[in-house]
A and B are shown apart, each in its own frame.
Chain A
Amino acid sequence: MNKYRPMAWIINTQTRTIKLFIKVAGKNGEDQHLSVYSPLDSKSMSSYHIQDLRLVLPPLDFDVRVNKHCAKANALFREWLKESLRGDVARTGELSNHRFDLLCALCFPTIDLPQLLRISKLCALTFLVGDGHVQAETSPSQWHSRYVPRVEPAFKALNRSAVHSGSIPRSDLLNPEHLLEVAHSLRTMQAQELKYSVPVAFGTNIFLRFTGTIFSSLYSSRKANTQNHHLGLLETFAILENIYDRNFSNEHTDVTLFTTLWIHTTNIVIRSQVIRWRKQVLAARELTRLPGPSFLHIQTCTRV
């Protein structure tokens, strides 16, 4: 079993064939390198590839680092996930394999354990909402009276324009536990943001903006209000200005550069996620159809 090791693939677009190099264990244990051809249109072979995205990183000129609290955060995160999913072992294992905690340990290599755990939870919630894991477990009427008053601040923070322009699509957001976590994170972050390090404040805003954009997308898809597609960008500017006012000097150039950094960061992250949608090639189509870098890519992606 598993004696064949894929080494590389080469696509010849002229002959529409794929050459597959494989390494085979020989009779005496030595490696033998073979190559085979397959028609590009063959159903036995996948039909597109993406070169290693890590190869785009060298120009950034630094090594990726892992937070030293990663292992401890992982244990606490799994515990939290299990509790959040009410002891559902299978689902806990499935979601643990996504390694949201590791994502935060890689993205925030210098923060302490409490911050790492909090940002990991927020990150997980963001992805869970985006993946549609936040689904109906109770009817709106059952949880509405119990939770909406407490969740309302989170709604407002996540999608202020939706609140102002009409009713919130509560029927789309039916898991009060997850929403309460978001609301709690929002309130805590807003109240204690100054106690957190700058990278965490930045990361928090990233995940909250993503979540807010997803909610905006949900709302927009129901209301067909294309103006809401701009919410992510506008709210991001507001957040950036807020950070800027408290942390930076008052020169306009800083804001412009900072905003530019943010947009490029977001575009890189969102574009790199397209590789996940291997069976939803619409994402690739949409991304290439849009002109130039734009924050609107987020909306396009989250609607897929």
Chain B
Amino acid sequence: MKGRGFTLQAAVNDIRRGIQSEVGKFIDAHKSLIAHTCDNEDAVTVANAMRDFIAGFIHWIYEGERYFGKRHEEVAKFGWVFMDTGGDEVDMS
């Protein structure tokens, strides 16, 4: 982070952009594989299994307490997340 002159927020944003970039590359590779092995059912199944895995994993992040604690439903509902990096959280009650 410091090496690239990033703030913490910029570093987090960069990670998200990285994920988006990887999704784009995945889609390209997925299309290529399907086009190249369209007559091989196993190859198509595995390629689609990877797609299922990505989507399932990212949706799962919002479904339990592992990543967002007790407030995961709130996070899933509003879509925006504020992470505590040491200070006290805003008391909404």
Contacts and interface: CB of A to CB of B under 8 A. Distances in A.
A264 B60 CA distance: 18
A284 B1 contact: yes
Interface string B55-77: 11111111111110000001000
Contacts of A4: 92-93
Contacts of A275: 61, 67, 81, 83
A164 interface: no
Contact of A267 (B22, B61, B74, B84): B22
Contact of A48 (B12, B61, B74): B12
A8 interface: yes
A170 B42 CA distance: 38
Interface string B8-40: 110110111011111111110110110011001
A278 B85 contact: yes
Interface of B: 1-4, 6, 8-9, 11-12, 14-16, 18-27, 29-30, 32-33, 36-37, 40, 42-43, 45-47, 49-67, 74, 78-90, 92-93
Interface stretch (A38-46, A135-143, A173-181, A217-225): A38-46
A110 B55 CA distance: 14
Contacts of B12: 48-50, 274, 284
B60 A99 contact: yes
Contacts of A98: 64-66
B85 A279 contact: yes
B42 A198 contact: yes
A261 interface: yes
Interface residues of A, number: 81
A206 B90 contact: no
A7 interface: yes
A281 B56 CA distance: 25
Contacts of B47: 258, 261
A293 interface: yes
A268 interface: yes
A6 B46 contact: no
B83 to A, nearest CB: 4
Interface string A83-124: 000000000000001110011011111000000000000000
Contact of B43 (A7, A48, A248, A273): A248
A14 interface: no
A262 B82 contact: no
Nearest to A265: B50
Contacts of B49: 108, 198-199, 202-203
A11 interface: yes
A107 B53 contact: yes
B79 to A, nearest CB: 4
